[in-house]
Amino acid sequence: MKDLLCDEFQASVNECLVRHKSVLDTLTKFQEATSRVNRSIAKAVTNCGCIKINAGKQAPPENVSLTELRSYMENHLEGVLCESCEEAVEREMGRTLFYMAALCNLLDLNLYDVLLKESKRLSTLGVFNFS
């Protein structure tokens, strides 16, 4: 299938990727990019304080159905990202998308097709997707 936005993004990545053309370089840059997403969120907590993490054991009631489970689970986040932290997280997520598109290019995959197949899998499996 084709999606203009995804195809244009993937083509732009192909044009921009010069130094890390090796699949090994791209894999390690992809992993580094995902680590930077983690770091930017951690800095929003520890440096800025715009969000807090209040985590504990998830304790849903027994005998609750899988579809009802969502209402008993928490994300452990308090607050919202400030403008500066939101910009940093978005930037790092963008880099992650860049290297994901680069991997698609190297493996001759279409990013939109990957997204579409995952979307279909999610709609088919629903809450049973990651059980």
Q: pLDDT tens digits for the chain (131 residues)?
A: 568 888 999 999 999 888 768 999 999 999 999 999 999 999 999 999 999 999 999 988 888 887 788 888 899 999 999 999 999 999 999 999 999 999 999 999 999 999 999 999 888 877 666 64
One-letter amino acid of 58: Q
pTM over 0.75: yes
pLDDT of amino acid 129: 63
Phi/psi for 14 (5° steps) reads -60, -40
Judge contact between 86 and 37, C-beta under 8 A: no
> How is the chain split into domains, by residue range?
4-128
d(CA 101, CA 10): 5
**48, 86 in Cβ contact below 8 A?**
no
Q: Tell which residue, 41, 48, 64, 70, has the closest CA to residue 130.
A: 70
At a CB cut-off of 8 Å and minimum separation 6, what does 5 contact? Answer: none
| The domain defined by 4-128 carries CATH number 3.40.50.1110 | no
